[in-house]
Amino acid sequence: MNVVELKNVTKRFDEFVAVKNLSFEVRKGAIFGLLGPNGAGKTTSIRMIVNIFAPDSGDVVVLGEHVTTALQQRIGYLPEERGLYKKMKVGEQLIFFANLKGVPADVARTRVDQWLKRMELLDWKDKKAADLSKGMQQKVQFIASVLHEPEFLILDEPFSGLDPVSVELLKGAILDLREKGATIIFSTHQMEQVEQMCEDICLINHGTHVLGGNLRDVKRGFGRNTVRLDYEGPNSFLGDDLVKRQNTFANYSELLLNEGADSQEILRRALAAGARVNRFELVEPSLNEIFIESVKGNNEKDTRNTQA
């Protein structure tokens, strides 16, 4: 069963086409990554799913029906633009938000305390939102989006501004919600988090679908065309005839090979150049690499179409 279905959806703002003929499906119980560069149409798509915007054409179906006010009670939404009442105490506004979603006051108080403790914010319950750091406010808004225990949760850039400890807290909470049966759309620029958490993805660019499906299948479709190399010595052996792009990290490099390049030639040249090779591994490209390549290819295609 699909919790969300977008079918050939288009949304315009005057002459600007934010989303064009976009289709994707979100399976029940999955964490679905909605990916794309800035301005790709992710937030507009999300706003159509929660019925903030209506599509100009196409169809949006959520939990088997078109979104109504009643259906919104079953959805949790953490928007990219955060909004708390700055002068209102944290605990009081969380209870207020829960009441708006139909949670009785006594149940809301219990859930608020449980979530504040889990997010390490219980000591801030009686503080005004303005007294909290940006990361703390982010966690408070996440709590507000889940207090009514939604079946379907949309998180737009949930890790933005969070320190590593808070990222792990939030990631654990999201995975627990999935284990309890929630379906989650997760929109982010942080590809590492997507690789760790998402089963399915959809990459959009300029409002159109670029690639999507099961994340493992997507990565397999790109083949093992990346060499993970840990070496000491000169890098003169990394010629443009073999390597399309090099990403250098603290202890190793990832080399995206040109089409048809022989990975073993990298190793042969490294040894001939006197480099000491500590690790050599042919791997599937990272999602970050797939993201860059796909967006770049889509941009080039759009340029050719425009020139034609």
Kindly state whether residue 160 falls inside one of the protein's structural domains. yes
Verify that 92 and 230 share a domain, yes or no.
Answer: no
Kindly state whether residue 292 falls inside one of the protein's structural domains. no
pLDDT reading at 306 higher than 60 = no
CB 284 within 8 A of CB 275: no
Q: What is the per-residue pLDDT across 7-26, written as a single tens digit (0 to 9) for each?
A: 999 999 999 999 999 999 99
Verify that 28 and 139 share a domain, yes or no.
Answer: yes
Verify that 130 and 245 share a domain, yes or no.
Answer: no
Instruction: Name the band, by pLDDT with cuts 50, 70 and 90, for residue 225.
Output: confident
Instruction: Name the band, by pLDDT with cuts 50, 70 and 90, for residue 246.
Output: confident
Of 199, 219, 239, the residue at which a domain comes to its end is 219
Mean of pLDDT over the chain: 90
Looking at the whole model, is its pTM more than 0.75? yes
Q: What is the per-residue pLDDT across 182-203, written as a single tens digit (0 to 9) for each?
A: 999 999 878 888 988 999 999 9
Verify that 121 and 171 share a domain, yes or no.
Answer: yes
Range of the domain at 253: 224-283
CA 234/CA 145 separation, integer angstroms? 52
Q: What is the per-residue pLDDT across 119-152, written as a single tens digit (0 to 9) for each?
A: 999 999 999 999 999 999 999 999 999 999 999 9
Of 165, 198, 219, the residue at which a domain comes to its end is 219
Kindly state whether residue 180 falls inside one of the protein's structural domains. yes
Residues of the chain with pLDDT > 70: what percent?
97
Of the candidates 27, 46, 22, 64, the residue with the CA atom closest to the CA atom of residue 209: 22
Verify that 116 and 211 share a domain, yes or no.
Answer: yes
Verify that 57 and 128 share a domain, yes or no.
Answer: yes
Structural domain tally of the chain? Answer: 2
Kindly state whether residue 289 falls inside one of the protein's structural domains. no
Verify that 135 and 212 share a domain, yes or no.
Answer: yes
Verify that 245 and 190 share a domain, yes or no.
Answer: no
Buried b (16+ CB within 10 A) or exposed e, 8-41: ebbbeeeeebbbbebebbbeeebbbbbbbbeebb
